[in-house]
Amino acid sequence: MKRVVVLISGGGRNLQALLDAGADGRLDAQIVAVISNRDGVQGLERARRAGVAALALPHVDFPSREAFDAALAEAIEAQRPDIVVMAGFMRVVGAAFVRRFQGRMLNIHPSLLPRHPGLKTHQKVLEAGEREHGATVHFVTEELDGGPLIIQGQFSVMPQDSAESLAERVMQDIELKIYPQAVAWLARGDVELVDGGVRFGGRPLSAPLGMDHLEAQFR
């Protein structure tokens, strides 16, 4: 069974979806540790309740980004992971860190990448007057939110939507479904990073998968 380390910074709703998928057998992998760059966050308590090792590694305790990256990499490697999952991990890591885990590290971003990398995605969608919004799971590369795309989910923006309502809809309707599915695919070997592109079922993807590709247990 594949070993998974999850990186978080906050409440851990995506983490909880992964924990639930592991507990009920949808995810054929073991979450062996949860690491946060902030102490006292709810996500760490979610891990403890599930019997998973929970570690706080506050980035403010380190003199430089490089020092934090090195300590984080060592903490991850100590768990002998096959997969590293960034689940609301609000810390940019450096190139050396990314290269160390490239091909086995995923991130989820609350926009339809390549649109709106970075922060405040929901507000940016409203300001741009866009009609569609959603979330994307991608492999992590050295480019911020720029790695090869695996799966996206989207919905129509409603006239009454605010940044807050979009954030909740993206999380509830998209993220909590597509992230466990993507991690399950990676754990099974169905999805892989090859020559800078994504292969699914042994074939290269020309575009990210969509919600219609979700297996029944993840819908």
Burial of 176 (0-12, 13-18, 19+ CB in 10 A): buried
How many C-beta atoms surround the C-beta of residue 87 within 10 A?
A: 24
**β-strands 149-156, 105-109: how paired?**
unpaired
- Residue 109 bears catalytic tag: yes
Catalytic residue from among 59, 109, 122, 138: 109
Residues 6+ apart with CB under 8 A from 71: 57, 62
CA distance linking residue 200 with residue 33, whole number of Å: 27
Edge-first strand listing for the sheet containing 191-194: 191-194, 197-200, 203-204
What are the backbone dihedrals phi and psi of residue 213, each rounded to the nearest 5 degrees, phi first?
-90, -5
How many C-beta atoms surround the C-beta of residue 206 within 10 A?
A: 7
Q: Residue 55, Cα to own-chain centre: how many angstroms?
A: 18
**β-strands 83-86, 105-109: how paired?**
parallel
- Residue 176: CA atoms inside 13 Å, Cβ hemisphere, count? 13
CA distance linking residue 77 with residue 72, whole number of Å: 9
- Residue 12 in tokens: 């851990």
Q: Which residues are catalytic?
A: 109
